[in-house]
Chain A
């Protein structure tokens, strides 16, 4: 029986947590956030990831990357316990129930939002409620600023324990949670919770400003207001259909990944969680990938997130303005074009090194992203939203740029680090770029002085794909001209409407399913990529397969696969980037925006095909 089979079983939900070498499985984490940063909470109650003040800031708790050097916030019953978790319905607030012999406690974890009074700039709250018996609890806050590299001073400010390092600080506010013990590098405590009692621990954080110490009443008010704010947001979302619950969880997860200050969506809130345990495929995903933009806008519009869609589109237009007409593969959440990659001297998740911050993919040429941006603009305009003349001019400039450069080799959607080559998917997306530019010009949204050139180049791209990228031996479009490798990114032909002769794409989908599929799992591609090791199956590709099947009218088959995939999430409905088909182990950064975007896209594809 695989891990996925046992996931829905009650015993699995209540299983005791486990760690290997101090590291919890990636599958064991749940995410909480406030639209500015994200914390990851393990099943055993330890918060092993938190960056502050922003999601792309250095870590304050980074035990996922180095259990010894980086910090954590442990909170759990003493002795053995079983765990059951869930999100408070309709929210990004986590409830972990610990069962011990003769008792139980519930821990509610949240990153709070401001509400009344003077709120701290960031605040992590952990509320402990006794559900039965008398349960002894221990907790320990071990802050380690700047990926564990900065000297952290722990001291008291009056009665309040604080930790500080240069321009960052946090305080530990505890109420009925025992007398805090302050030792070098650690603030800890022990207490007992009886049935009906509550204790409260809050970590207000400060960056470049003084700490704010709130009262218990204010902290509890903010916790309640945070739950209400989440529920209010979720109530406005369109999440119907057989997978409504999974779609809602995905929507909330996307909301966690969206920067409230800029509107950008980070690919994931972590860096260097490995695609291969012990391997080198460890990347920083705390950037906004242009590749994801079309899926993002599509999902936001489908979910009824008009405000978020507007904010994201305008962030995209502002960020891309800086490199116009060239597009960068990724941008910072503030729209910055810098993403210099460097390696940190950390042990890495289960010895997966190097640990990287920044992302070298920023310098790659990826032709597919032009298709994503122009598709995003077309989606935006098609929904009746206006774009101004300046933006229209830049979009036309981007289309002109594609018409000039589509014949160049590139790194492709998967950002392979081997030599650039002609990727079929990239050419397909160049076709999408030119096709959407033509549609935008026909709709009067952008200037169309060179539309005849766009039409000519669109035909040329189509000819190239159908002649050079087709393999008679495979009976499919292949990864690149002259190769016999397959690429699951070509499943997206159905999503983007690239199906020139109505047959080759279907045969390609069949070939991908046959050769890259493994049960419900789908690998990204066959062939080399310039890196060591065999990565796991890519979650988004499985959902793209669902969408491709649904759009071909194979609805029952697609629905069966969708059911299976929805069952592959962790106990709280989250997905990583990849899954090891053999063990069900989550791999890669977590939670992964693209996986959840693909889930939403697949669910809505059924609705669209019904219409």
Chain B
């Protein structure tokens, strides 16, 4: 297992994950747009939000790959199949807690059940498993995270 391998896998995996989500969006399966969601936490400018969002998304991808690397180290094994298992946990966590609960709390423009419309523009919250963005969103998101995990696991094993 190699931390560097996991890091490279994280970048490649994030690239593929982003591409899968974008393709699903173009196929009209979902309205999920992670770079937009992340970028609008920083700026209200739509163009800049997307650019910053992509950057933040890649940083997040790298950090998750490091977490995967720690998991591989603890288990003293790696590989694409273990990566897929981590990807499943990652995908479920992202849909149920990370984007659904944690992101709205820290996102200054996203609504929560307790927010009012008094002061700032609100972004439509994703809901459980991001179902608000379309019924196919959980499947698309989960599939993308499984692929991400497989790539991180494969790169980590290959660089060992």
Contacts and interface: CB of A to CB of B under 8 A. Distances in A.
Contacts of B125: 157-158, 210
Contacts of A216: 117
Interface stretch (B4-12, B73-81, B126-134, B146-154): B126-134
A337 interface: no
Interface in B104-149: 109, 111, 113, 115, 117-126, 132-134
Contacts of B132: 157, 210
Contact of A164 (B29, B109, B134): B134
Interface stretch (A66-74, A112-120, A283-291, A498-506): A112-120
Contact of B119 (A114, A164, A215): A215
Report whether over half of chain A's contact residues are helix, strand or loop; otherwise say mixed.
Answer: loop
A121 B33 CA distance: 13
A20 interface: no
A157 B44 CA distance: 21
A166 B29 contact: yes
A208 B33 contact: yes
A210 B119 contact: no
Contacts of A168: 28, 31
A213 B119 contact: no
Contacts of B111: 157-158, 213
Given A118-B46, A157-B132, A166-B134, A209 B118 contact: no
Given A114-B46, A117-B44, A167-B28, A209 B122 contact: no
Contacts of A214: 121-122
B28 A212 contact: no
B40 interface: yes
A117 B122 CA distance: 10
Contacts of A212: 121-124
B25 A167 contact: yes
Contacts of A157: 111, 124-125, 132
A482 B124 CA distance: 66
Nearest to B112: A158
B37 interface: yes
A208 B31 contact: yes
Given A118-B123, A157-B124, A215-B121, A210 B46 contact: no
21 contacts: A114-B46, A118-B46, A119-B46, A121-B46, A157-B132, A158-B125, A166-B28, A167-B29, A167-B30, A168-B28, A168-B31, A208-B31, A210-B126, A210-B133, A212-B123, A212-B124, A213-B111, A213-B121, A214-B121, A215-B121, A216-B117
Interface of B: 25-26, 28-31, 33, 36-37, 40, 44, 46, 49, 109, 111, 113, 115, 117-126, 132-134
